[in-house]
Amino acid sequence: MIFKTIVKEDLKKLFNVHLKDVECVGPKQVATSNDGKAVYQFLPFESFDEINLNHEKTEYSAKTYFLPFRETLSTFNFKNGDWDQEIKYRKQQRVLVGLHPCDINALVKLDKVFAKDLFPSPYYRSRRENTFVIGIDCDKPCTDGFCASVGADVVTHGFDLFLRDIGDKYFVKVGSDRGLNVLNKISPTDISPEERKSYRKKTKEFLAGFKNTIRVENLPNTLDIEFESPVWKKWGDKCLSCGSCAMVCPTCYCYGVSEQISMDFKKSEKVKQLYSCNLLDFAMVAGAHNFRPARETRLKYRYYHQHRGFVESFGEPKCVGCNRCGRACLANINPVDVISDLQMEL
Amino acid sequence: MNAILHAYEVTKEEDMVEPLDYNRRSRMKNFDKCFKAEITNIIRLTEMEKLFQLRMINEDDKNRFTFLPGQFVMLELPGYGEVPISISCSPSIKSIIELCIRKAGKVTEALHKAKRGAVVGIRGPFGTHFPMEKMKKNNVLLIAGGLGLAPLRAPMTYVIENRADFKDVHIFYGAKDPTQLLFDYQYEQWHRIDDINLQIIVEKPDELWTGPVGLITKLLDDIAIDPDKTYAIVCGPPVMFKFVCNRLKDMGVPMQRMFVSLERRMHCGMGKCCRCNIGSTYTCLDGPVFDYWSVMNLKEAI
Ligand SMILES: Cc1cc2nc3c(=O)[nH]c(=O)nc-3n(C[C@H](O)[C@H](O)[C@H](O)COP(=O)(O)OP(=O)(O)OC[C@H]3O[C@@H](n4cnc5c(N)ncnc54)[C@H](O)[C@@H]3O)c2cc1C
Ligand code: SF4
Ligand code: SF4
Ligand code: FES
């Protein structure tokens, strides 16, 4: 991997001058919470001053730029009792800046499902390849995340450029050829031994700062054995089946497809919409038979996919430990508590 | 300003310019694209079920569309939606695809109103298939309950076409009452085939019924099988296949030689939407055909 450093001011120049004509998305403050904390979301910006790379974390993940909440898969145009099918892939360029290690690791996991596995998705690939990703390391662990427990605190790939704040400069990991091309616009310098030291020191401090942990060793096995555990009922009884957790989660990708006819009956759009396995009709089939009628079976299934199913398919959990689901949940259901509860069930 | 970033055209990828072929699962393709097919015949089977005979409109599509018994397609009715349906005909006949469809909801009801000549879309084939090659040189039990005859019809026609490759062949079919029997116009033909034991049983007979009465497991009372040389395909609702498979297990047939087909909600057929998951198993990729051992080891209830 190529390492460089850039002067902080130059990053601003990169956006305000060189990337002026490209759609840029970054962490923007959208509100202030009741306890006085800034609330951030990944949103398009015009000028670099609108975003804050020191954000703790965005409430929603960046997945919406790869797996939008609603996406047209194809359009059927009707003509004289016949039809033709039209398929379009999004190919506009976009720059996404300010993704934390958890966010990038989430993208790497989505890549496994949508870009590499069986039936690679051209919808996803087109968006992914046309998005220039600039990540940034967290200065210190966020208050509620547990990325270190699930191995998502460090990134090695899945980005074009990856920054770490080392004082008056950014230490930059270059993850792609186009990353280097873009970086070269703002004359990066080779890293000095001091800069390398300061990068490693910062990283060490970051890793030492984690307080939230869950024990994931043997978790797939525990999940299997505790499939009937009363812990599921306990948490399931609190769940409102609202699906917010899956909406904000950077790796939840399940969806439903429906068709919408235009008012003039001239065409019909086949629309994919993100879904959540916590919603009541997720596994409902014709004749109103529901394979997961109980709340706890749906809640359990979500944890099962995160920490058991995905491990079976790809050898790692799907969860990156950002705790966005925990923050969004009105019932206070969060992975640290649920998993600890399950691990303790003896 | 000269572009700092370069546009990527997914449609120009090598894989994408290849003709559409769902059997090449690792290739990137226009996976939402359907093959256009015309409904050439509609055969009314019962009050609730119709058999649709389809023909691919494009000659190339027709030649490329190959499937194995047990696989399913996503059938698209533009404007209404897409539903998973088992292919219910012989894989050796290229010209037509038969789908036996029950009127069950929005899309299937619209299909039942469709007329000959209507154009629908087909994506697929998807999923696993019955291991017909492995079953050769063995006795086969083909058992269906209710609508289970729809998925069973593909392996059944395969066995009939390749009768010489199999030892004893038993076909058992059960339904609630005689009005629900599917493909009744074909029994005569199947009966006449030399050396196939076809038995049909109903739970509630009417005055005209002369055949056996009872549950499908009753038909197993009268046969002797060599469990080491027997394979079974059992299609029907879970209660039915569980009874039958457990009975066969008691008769000594290994669980790994019994095959069933499962149904779950499906929105993609390609391991993406997760709607078809049973625990961590994808019914659309790892199934719909499973051996009974795998079914018994699925994490969630069947
Ligand atoms: C592998 C497989 C093979 C099948 N083979 C056949 C067959 O040969 N003949 C037949 O009549 N039926 C078959 N079915 C069931 C058939 O798919 C459903 O009856 C059909 O989807 C109902 O759709 P609907 O729009 O009419 O009903 P609605 O209740 O209006 O359904 C709305 C949507 O829910 C989903 N859905 C509802 N029920 C099911 C279901 N059972 N399975 C999957 N998705 C569902 C579909 O996406 C559907 O568009 C099969 C199902 C599967 C999974
Ligand atoms: S956000 Fe909380 S209440 Fe809503 S579905 Fe998820 S776990 Fe249940
Ligand atoms: S499950 Fe929760 S903690 Fe894990 S990645 Fe999703 S939102 Fe983050
Ligand atoms: S049908 Fe979408 S994952 Fe199986």
Instruction: Tell me the backbone φ, ψ of residue A198, rounded to 5 degrees.
Output: -65, -35
Task: Please work out whether the CB of residue A252 comes within 6 Å of at least one atom of ligand 2.
Answer: no
Q: State yes or no: pLDDT of B1 exceeds 60.
A: no
Q: State both tokens at B245.
A: 């498979």
* Per-residue pLDDT at A243 exceeds 60: yes
> How sure is the predictor about B185, in pLDDT bands with cuts at 50, 70 and 90?
confident
Phi-psi region of B291 (alpha: psi -120 to 50; beta: other; left: phi over 0): beta
Task: Tell me whether residues B5 and A308 touch, CB distance under 8 A.
Answer: no
CA B6 distance to own-chain centroid:
46
The Cα–Cα gap between B252 and A292 comes to 33
Residue with tokens 């899945």: A158
Q: What is the pLDDT of residues A266-282, one digit of tens each?
A: 999 999 999 999 999 99
Q: Is there a contact between B300 and A178 if contact means CB atoms under 8 Å apart?
A: no
| Cβ count near A144 (within 10 Å) | 17
For tokens 């709607």, name the residue: B275
Find, in chain A, the residue whose alpha carbon is nearest to that of B275: A283
> Reduced to 3 states, what is the DSSP secondary structure of residue B99?
strand
Q: Which two tokens stand for residue B157?
A: 């026609």
Show the domains of chain B with their CATH numbers: 13-126 (2.40.30.10), 132-296 (3.40.50.80)
- The answer for residues whose C-beta is within 8 angstroms of residue B264's C-beta and 6 or more apart is A283, A285, A291, B275, B276, B277, B278, B283, B284
Q: Which two tokens stand for residue A297?
A: 């079976």
For residue A321, the tally of other CB atoms under 10 A from its CB is 28
**What is the arithmetic mean of pLDDT over A60-80?**
95
Q: Relative to the CA of A322, which ligand 3 atom is closest?
A: 8
Q: How far apart are CA B16 and CA A136, in angstroms?
A: 34
Residue B190 has pLDDT above 90, yes or no: no
**Mean pLDDT rounded to a whole number for chain B:** 92
Query: Does the global pTM surpass 0.90?
Result: yes
Phi, psi of A26, deg, nearest 5: -155, 180
Q: Is B230 helix (H, G, I), strand (E, B) or coil?
A: strand
- One DSSP character per residue, B157-219 reads HHHHHTGGG-S-EEEEEEESSGGG-TTGGGHHHHHHSTTEEEEEEESS--TT--S-BS-GGGG
Q: How far is B231 from chain A (nearest CA, A)?
A: 29
- Ligand at shortest distance from the CA of A152: 3
C-alpha–C-alpha distance, residues B128 and A119, integer Å: 15
**Distance between CA atoms of residues A304 and A345, nearest Å:** 16
Return the pLDDT at A169.
93
Please state, in angstroms and rounded to a whole number, the distance separating the CA atoms of residues A245 and A334.
9
CA neighbor of A202 nearest in space, from A168, A171, A166: A166
**List of chain A residues whose C-beta atoms are within 8 Å of the C-beta of residue B264:** 283, 285, 291
Is A249's Cβ below 8 Å from some Cβ in B? Answer: no
Name every protein residue with a CB atom under 6 angstroms from any ligand 3 atom.
Answer: A 248-251, 306, 319-325, 335
Interface pTM (ipTM) of the complex? 0.91
**Is the peptide bond prior to B125 cis by the omega test (within 30 degrees of 0)?**
yes
Q: Which tokens go with B272? A: 């993406």
Reading the block at residue B50, the tokens are 């119709």
pLDDT band for position A217 (cuts 50, 70, 90):
confident
Q: How far is the CA of A286 from the centre of ligand 1 (A)?
A: 6
Q: How far apart are CA B173 and CA B202, in angstroms?
A: 9
Residue B81 alpha carbon, nearest atom of ligand 1: 49
Q: Which among B1, B26, B79 has the least Cβ separation from residue A21?
A: B1
**Chain B environment of A76 (Cβ under 8 Å):** 78-79
Using CB atoms, pick whichever of B78, B104, B274 lies closest to residue A287.
Answer: B104
Amino acid at A216: V
Confidence of residue A286 (pLDDT cuts 50, 70, 90): confident
A251 vs A40, A306, A322, CA distance in Å? 19, 9, 10
Interface-testing mutation among B22, B272, B300, B302, with chain A (most A C-beta atoms within 10 A): B272
**A52: contact with B, CB 8 A cutoff:** no
Residues 6+ apart with CB under 8 A from A87: A73, A74, A75, B30, B32, B33
Q: Which residues on neighbouring strands pair with residue B73, listed in sequence order?
A: B85
A-chain residue closest to B263, CA distance = A285
User: Is the pLDDT assigned to residue A346 strictly greater than 60?
Assistant: no
Ligand nearest to the CA of A317: 3
Under a CB-based contact definition with an 8 Å cutoff, are residues B87 and B73 in contact? yes
B265–chain A Cβ distance below 8 A for any pair: yes
Report chain A residues whose CB lies below 8 A from the CB of B125: none
Q: How far is the CA of B146 from the centre of ligand 4 (A)?
A: 25
Whether the per-residue pLDDT at A285 is higher than 70: the answer is yes
Residue in A24, A119, A261 to test binding to B, most B beta-carbons within 10 Å: A119
What CA–CA distance (Å, rounded) separates A107 from A283?
26
The half-sphere exposure of B128 on its side-chain side, counting CA atoms within 13 A, is: 17
Query: Residue B240 Cα, ligand 1 centroid: separation in angstroms?
Result: 19
**Residue B38 · residue B55 · CB < 8 Å:** yes
Judged against a pLDDT cut of 80, whether residue A63 lies above it is answered with yes
Q: Mean pLDDT across chain A, nearest whole number?
A: 93
Would you state the structure tokens that stand for residue A260, as one six-digit string? Answer: 């919408």
**Cβ–ligand 4 contact at B287 (below 6 Å):** no
Give, to the nearest 10 degrees, the angle between helix A101-111 and helix A122-129: 140
Chain A interface includes B16 (CB < 8 A): yes
| Strand, coil or helix: A208 | helix
A29 touches chain B (CB under 8 A): no
Which of A41-50's residues contact partners 24+ apart within 8 Å by CB, and which partners? A42/A96, A42/A98, A47/A15, A47/A16, A48/A11, A48/A12, A48/A15, A48/A16, A49/A12, A50/A26
The closest-lying atom of ligand 1 relative to the alpha carbon of residue B49 is: 11
Q: How far is the C-alpha of B182 from the C-alpha of B45, rounded, in Å?
A: 6
pLDDT band per the 50, 70, 90 thresholds, residue A345? low
Residue window 190-229, chain B: list those with CB within 8 Å of chain A: none
Cβ distance A120 to B28 less than 8 Å, yes or no, reads yes
Model pLDDT, residue B300: 80
The pLDDT-based confidence of B2 (bands split at 50, 70, 90) is low
The predicted model gives A132-161 an average pLDDT of 92
User: What distance in Å separates residue A261's CA from the closest CA in chain B?
Assistant: 6
Output the CA B84–ligand 1 centroid distance in Å.
6
Determine the residue of chain B that is closest to A15 in CA distance.
B4
CA of A192: how far to CAs of A188, A198, B97, in Å?
Answer: 12, 10, 68
